[in-house]
Amino acid sequence: MYKQFSFSPLITWAYTTFINLLSPPCCSYCKEFLQERVVFCMRCMAKLQPVVSMMMPITTTKSIKVFAAFAYKEPIKTLIMAKSWSDSVASVHLGQLMWERTDVRSVSFDYLVPVPLHWTRFAKRGFNQAQEIAQVIAQKSGTCVAPILKRQKRTPFQAGLKAVERISNVNDAFMLKNIDVSLYKDKHLVIVDDLLTTGSTIRACAKVLFQLKPASITVVVACRVVD
């Protein structure tokens, strides 16, 4: 009996070679050409400033842990801002970095809940960056994305608003979709977003999710603004 020959390694090599010729791997920040497809070159990776996890108070009795990969500075800032010109590939890169560089990979959780966009903003941009990030983490963790939150009013961008204005801006901005709430009771939920500044958006989302009576709520973001 002859041993069956597998073409899969050859096909994989050919596909990878074709993609690299079509779009050569390069650093997402300095654009230096690279030997392999990674997010940043070694020089740009060295510029990233890690940040420690923190506890964020939601109410007088409830707090949640926040995992952030890096401080909101270059070169990661460029990936965050890429959503402004509808670059969804940057979101995939953020998801990879968040999985590799935060302790969320060591947390046991059931669902990833992306912070939603208002439908008008989604239509203009063409994608939700938080949703794209959550898809990457879901694939790597073997869990599910649960887009169960809805942004029910179109709020101005948080950037440029004062801290007090940010709180009122997202007040009652989110609600639960028409879901089976029993699926999420006593489950471990992870809120996913790209950037945390004052935490007003995350707090607003968490307050809504607490209605589900989950076992826990954790947050993972790509960047956190630090002093």
Q: Which of 165, 182, 172 is nearest to 149 (CA)?
A: 172
Tokens 């901005």 locate to 173
Those residues whose C-beta lies under 8 Å from the C-beta of residue 172, and which sit 6 or more positions away, are 152, 153
pLDDT at 38 (0 to 100)? 83
CA atoms of 104 and 132, how far apart (whole Å): 17
Looking at per-residue confidence, does 13 or 153 come out higher? 153
pLDDT at 4 (0 to 100)? 46
pLDDT at 203 (0 to 100)? 95
- Report the predicted TM-score, pTM, of the whole model to 2 decimal places: 0.84
pLDDT tens-digit readout, 21-72: 556 788 889 988 887 878 899 999 999 999 999 999 999 999 999 999 999 9
Q: Which of 196, 186, 191 is nearest to 216 (CA)?
A: 186
